[in-house]
A and B are shown apart, each in its own frame.
Chain A
Amino acid sequence: MKFEPTIQDGFFDEMYDEQGNVRPHCQKFDDLLKNSPKKKLSRLQFAADKAQMAMGMTFNVYHDKQGIEKILHLDIIPRIIPGSEWKLLEKGLIQRIDALNHFLQDIYNEGKILKDKIIPEDLILGSKDYLSPCKGLTPPKGIWCHITGTDLVRDSSGAYFILEDNLRCPSGVSYMLESREIIKRAFPDLFNRLGVRPVSNYPARLFNMLQHLSDKSKPVIGVLTPGIHNSAYFEHSYLAQQMGVELVSGMDLLVKDKFVYMQTTKGLEQIDVLYRRIDDVFLDPLSFNPDSLLGVPGLFEAYKAGNIAIANAPGTGVADDKAVYAYVPRIIKYYLDQDPILQNVPTYLCREEKDRKYVLEHIEDLVVKETNAAGGYGMLIGPKSTKEEHEKFRKLIQSNPNNYIAQPTLSLSTVPTLIDNQGVEGRHVDLRPYILYGSDIEVVPGALTRVALKKGSLVVNSSQGGGSKDTWVLFND
């Protein structure tokens, strides 16, 4: 098909440079795109849609007992990352996870970083995500953040920035795996010729990592799900199936003499490792939220006794607080004595006077976020808000500065995307690679790329018109 790549000023396009020339690592894909009739592309897109439906790659939106299962749109045009660029990302992510793991071990034990006043003590100990029952605890093999899904973006120069460290239970990896299966069918020859690194062994790596957490040679492993009504239930069941382990819910488990058992038709069977997909505070009604129906009474005691490994370890949430995020470069320096390879998005901490003054004066240009709210709650996007809203947030910040941070508005990079089968246009994307911490730290050579399908939109969330793309990491450049 004939098309002129639309290059928007002030944004970095991952396939074409400012003059509209294709970037070298995308040459082969561009040739294919330009030589494919429009009809062929829309046919491939149609086949991809159908495959998603048949595979049941759905997330749930429950309104009534009937339930609605929705599909996350998968665009057939991939996002391609050259090998050398990936190597840099890989190094940067490993460095960051390594430092964060040191940080978690420290703040729940000696607290050196707090005593040395690198991070204000009240920011950590006063955080609602700091789990004081974890004090003095070292999880099996000293690993806290086993599975991380870090969000990155690229600015107008193409440089990568860390946007968020998702250290709790990052989701979306099933999309990475299933999307690859579908896109492989769409471009079978190209895959080979380009040299795309495979991701299909992720479940096997995850399984090995979980096995590593137990001293038994064949530990019993389970994926702990909140249940069928959870929006990521498909992923929980998919990962359990791919790893060949049990999918368990709180009601399947019980604790007796500080050991955790699954209730089976043959009686009780001990379980050694839990990949939990429920939040810290719901894990155990005896130690945390007493109203939790999802968790297992006594689980935390069993964990403290060293009789069960939990991934990710309870208590990791404190390290992906939005205020702590601002300190990560200092955390890396403190524990590893290295400069961070991957940069943070510049972040203003309203708790610090100089930063606060800047934020209050420039609020109309900034994005203001509540430190421990997720999913766009308690957020102000300066350029898109009214004067009244600016004023409201100024007051909020002044009354509780510790609760707010601010960042400049980001100019996310774009990737060509098939729009309504009509043509190919650039759309904004982010990047979520997955990092596993077992016998060593490894970054899976692939990622979930989320794309804002609406023209000009910077919001990639699936609930607000976001879709996804397959991410091709090349062996070479």
Chain B
Amino acid sequence: MLSRVANSIYWLGRYLERTENYARFIDVNFNLMLDLPGDLQEQWEPLILATGDDTIFRSKFDRFDKKEVIYFLAFDTDNPNSIISSVTAARENARIIRENLTKETWEKLNETYHFVKKGAERKEWKKEDPRAFFESVKNQILLLYGLAENTVARTEGWYFRQLGLFLERADKTSRILDVKYHILLPSVEEIGSPLDFLHWMALLKSVTAFNTYKRLYGNIDPSGVVEFLVLNKYFPRSVFYCMKEAENCLFKISGSNGTGFSNSAEKAMGELRSKLEFDDVSDVIGTGLHEYLESLLGKINTISNKIDDNYFQIKDNFVSQSNRQG
């Protein structure tokens, strides 16, 4: 497969997953805010801090107002990660490699793009409760995944898209969890209070994890939620699960037998996957949740750069190739 095509498919995977997760981000905060006692002020700042887009936000807005935050995360074309920017980038990547996509996936993606654009024209962020819009964005992307699942051949292209998808999801699950760190409780005594409990519950709901968590753990307590979203072996949005799947994609792409590593991307991926595999929740809490998540995000970034080095960078690949020939 052409490197340029692989690159576009990888980023198509990442941008679609990013779109879906930003819709979830907004949902998590809405759920949180609706559950708050009336006398507490709404907190929209944590959302911006967790996405890492706070510098651009501050350059445009004075305060973290609900409507402005929603506008910024969903419809602001100045924000390179907003829903509209991500879905546009996903579509542009798809257009570049259209000859590699099935008809159905291209048409559905096209439709989703137009849906988001219409939402921007309708000024969805001004609505009292815009959750229906974000719910719909989420569902359209899940439909796209379903179409792909049932129509796309499991060849190299499929694994590059899945690779992008799972790395992006690992990144975003970490960030959703980090929202909780940034939310201020009124006082230290509130840790473990009903309010604290509400926060954790809303967070689980935003990643469609509430029911599964309840069945597996029963009580809602912070260490349980952290263990579930970071280390769980079976939940498809946990960081470990995503890394395990992403690692498998790399093996399929290189054709390796699934042990050890055959290039620097596999090495970095394997290191992070095994750390997550053998850490337990006390390792996470011991490091500090926020610090642990920050380090995870850094490593995911490194892995993405190594994938770029190994598969997409024309010049580097040429050098290594000509060395082998020489």
Interface residues of A (CB under 8 A from B): 54, 56, 228, 237-238, 240-241, 246-249, 251-252, 254, 256, 262-268
Contact = CB atoms under 8 A, between A and B. Distances in A.
Nearest to A227: B96
B156 interface: yes
B314 A268 contact: no
B99 A263 contact: no
Contacts, number: 53
A71 to B, nearest CB: 14
A256 B322 contact: yes
B1 A265 contact: yes
A228 B320 CA distance: 29
A262 B6 CA distance: 13
A251 B96 CA distance: 13
A297 B205 CA distance: 55
Given A263-B4, A265-B1, A265-B253, A241 B99 contact: yes
Contacts of A240: 99
B2 A263 contact: yes
A85 to B, nearest CB: 36
Contacts of B92: 228
Contacts of A267: 317, 320-321, 324
Given A56-B106, A265-B311, A246 B321 contact: no
Nearest to A222: B2
Interface string B302-320: 0000000001001001101
Interface in B69-106: 92, 95-96, 98-99, 106
Given A237-B99, A241-B99, A251-B314, A264 B107 contact: no
Q: Mostly helix, strand, loop or mixed at chain B's interface?
A: helix
Contacts of A265: 1-3, 6, 156, 160, 253, 311
B98 A237 contact: yes
Nearest to A239: B99
Contacts of B106: 56
A307 to B, nearest CB: 16
A249 B314 CA distance: 13
Contacts of B322: 256
Contacts of B320: 267
B110 interface: yes
14 contacts: A56-B106, A56-B110, A237-B98, A241-B98, A248-B2, A252-B4, A254-B314, A256-B322, A263-B314, A264-B1, A265-B3, A266-B1, A267-B320, A267-B321
Most chain-A Cβ atoms within 10 A of its Cβ — which of B4, B6, B99? B99
B95 A263 contact: no
Contacts of B6: 265
A228 B318 CA distance: 25
A244 to B, nearest CB: 9
Q: Which 10 pairs across A and B sit closest by C-beta, in order of nearness? A: A241-B99, A237-B99, A267-B321, A265-B311, A240-B99, A263-B3, A265-B6, A263-B314, A237-B98, A265-B1
Nearest to A248: B2
A277 to B, nearest CB: 13
Given A241-B98, A254-B318, A267-B324, 11 more contacts: A56-B110, A228-B95, A238-B99, A241-B99, A247-B99, A251-B314, A254-B314, A262-B2, A263-B4, A263-B314, A265-B311
